[in-house]
Structure 1
Amino acid sequence: MNQILNRKARHDYEILETYEAGIALLGSEVKSIKTGNANLKDSYADIDNGELWLYNFHVSPYKFASEKFNHVPLRPKKLLLHKREIAKLIGKTKEKGYTLIPLKVYTKNGLIKIELALAKGKKLYDKRQSLKERELNLEKERAFKDF
């Protein structure tokens, strides 16, 4: 399985910390994700009653499963983290401007994992600044490559 990436996340947010979490999935969701039929665009995580949930993570229905055993594409998915990590995240997300966003979904030892980031939204001028920095770094690399 290839990784499923959230490409806009690093552009729209400043990443502060990352966490690796498990996901509670149905069988047809697992098969669909392993074939790469999922989308992290516009998805986010939130804490509800001491549990971590992932919202707007679109997992396409598995085409080989029957209607009876297939899943709803946008159903909320429970994320699995240790209690101390969730407690830490509760404190951080209560601060103004911090949010939890998924960066990528991948398999590790046969299990599906998600890389979750504690992030702060960027303003428009911050996005421009990061583009300038990236262009400067590319120019430096090209200059050193020529020598």
Structure 2
Amino acid sequence: MAKGQGNVVAQNRKASHDYEIVETFEAGIVLTGTEIKSVRAARINLKDGFARIRNGEAWLSNVHISPYDEGNIYNVDPVRARKLLLHRKQIDKIDSELSTNGMTFIPLRVYLKDGYAKVLMGLAKGKKNYDKRETIKRKEQNREIARQLKNYNR
């Protein structure tokens, strides 16, 4: 858990495999009453999520928040677009970065902080297949080195 993050509810594990994270931003998210109850119950899926800047506002799309069981008529569409709460300077910076080739804005994790749901968003660049293989190879080499050092120190 990074500094300042509270109770992690959901995490996008594939993000670091598929993307190179350039910069991260903490954003608030606009939710309805039943949605926040589902988030607190950890019924959220970030796997295919992404964000866009439209009309000077950041919108989170394709994030699935399951309907709250006791929500009845107050439940909303589970994959609707949700507004992200960011500062104007941050939105302008993200918008200029997204206009460059190959950049995307993805959710990395959702957590509860002081009673509010927060989203750690990442400005990311997509990895090619050979980059993914290189990352896996580097992790395996580091693991092997650590194993050898552990056996050597005995």
Query: What is the TM-score normalised by the length of structure 1?
Result: 0.97
SS of 1:63's partner is: coil
Q: Aligned equivalents of 1:44 and 1:115: distance in 2?
A: 12
Of 92, 95, 101, which residue of structure 2 is paired with 1:90? 95
Aligned to 1:36: 42
Aligned to 2:25: 19
**Which 5+ residue runs of structure 2 have no aligned equivalent?**
1-6
Following superposition, which runs of at least 4 residues in structure 1 exceed 3 angstroms of deviation?
none
Q: Aligned equivalents of 1:79 and 1:63: distance in 2?
A: 25
Matched residues, number:
146
Query: What is the TM-score normalised by the length of structure 2?
Result: 0.92
Q: What letter is aligned with 1:19?
A: F
- What is the percentage of aligned positions where both structures have the same residue? 49
Instruction: Decide whether the 8 Å contact of 2:67 with 2:78 is kept in 1.
Output: yes
**Which 5+ residue runs of structure 1 have no aligned equivalent?**
none
SS of 1:105's partner is: strand
Q: What letter is aligned with 1:26?
A: T
SS of 1:3's partner is: strand
Deviations along 1:69-121, whole A, 9 cap, x unmatched?
11110010000000000011111100000010100000011110000000000
Give the 5 Å matches for 1:32-71. Answer: 32-66=38-72, 68-71=73-76
Deviation at 1:2, TM superposition (A): 4.4
Aligned to 2:115: 110
Of 116, 120, 124, which residue of structure 2 is paired with 1:119? 124
Instruction: Decide whether the 8 Å contact of 2:58 with 2:84 is kept in 1.
Output: yes
Of 134, 139, 143, which residue of structure 2 is paired with 1:138? 143
Deviation at 1:3, TM superposition (A): 2.4
SS of 1:47's partner is: strand
Deviations along 1:16-55, whole A, 9 cap, x unmatched?
0000000000000000010011100111001000000000
Of 123, 134, 144, which residue of structure 2 is paired with 1:129? 134
Q: What letter is aligned with 1:119?
A: A
